[in-house]
Amino acid sequence: MLTRADRTVEDAVPIVDAVAECGVRHIGFKDIGVTPATQVELVERIRLNGGTAYLEVVSTTPEAIRRSLTAARDLGVDCILGGTDVDAAAGILGDLGRYYPFPGEPVGHPTRLGGTPARIEADARRARARGCGGVDLLAYRATEADPVDLVVAARRALPDGRLIVAGSVQTVAQIHALARAGVDAFTIGSAVFDGAFSPTKGSLRGQVQDILAACRSAPAPVPLVH
């Protein structure tokens, strides 16, 4: 994610080329931090690099969420992450196969996540039943439960859906824990731009290369026990 502290960084456009040169092909941004014109340019630049474009909705009011969903539709991004109003998404996007709502109760900005494993599982199951491609789980922003417990609950609810974990991923241990729990993808932004993932390295390239290495060395998922 071309983001820091839940906002798209102002120089995101040239960064697309830099991360693509490292081999990253799944590239996204938030719906705040840059102008609509820059968002259009970002999608174009991601596509020119052969990438898949993601937009994560971090709006908090119903009206703002609808505006963000409309912007995502008009941008033509491949995947829309976030928000909780599946009815609004269905009305604006039509096909929900590229939509991944937040399960649980996201609040504030930067967003925190309320909800027990049972709540997360129920929300994820309901989203998939509506036709959503899966969910965007703010696992490491949890305020009521262990992050991995939430991941396991969401995975159980999505046997044929995609599970994405977003927010506050910043260590190899976290990436490996997500892999063991069966996560399909995760987002990472602030840890790259703050240099927090690999504190001894000073370049964006160094951060990204170490993240990719952590993904390559990640363990296989542990089978779920029902």
Using 50, 70 and 90 to split pLDDT, how confident is the model at 225? Answer: low
Q: Which residue has the tokens 């990719």?
A: 212
For residue 81, pLDDT beyond 80: yes
Residue 226, pLDDT above cutoff 70: no
Whole-number Å distance between alpha carbons of 48 and 92:
26
Lowest mean pLDDT among 36-40, 106-110, 200-204: 106-110
Asked whether residue 62 carries a pLDDT value surpassing 90, the answer given is no
Domains of the chain by start residue, with CATH: 3-216 (3.20.20.70)
What burial class does residue 138 get, using C-beta atoms within 10 Å of its C-beta: 0-12 exposed, 13-18 middle, 19+ buried? buried
Q: Is 165 exposed, middle or buried (0-12, 13-18, 19+ CB in 10 A)?
A: buried
Interval 92-98 mean pLDDT? 97
pTM: 0.95
Q: How many Å apart are CA 91 and CA 17, to the nearest integer?
A: 34
* Residue 58: predicted pLDDT: 83
E strands present in the chain:
3-4, 7-8, 26-30, 52-57, 79-82, 99-100, 105-107, 112-114, 134-137, 162-165, 185-186
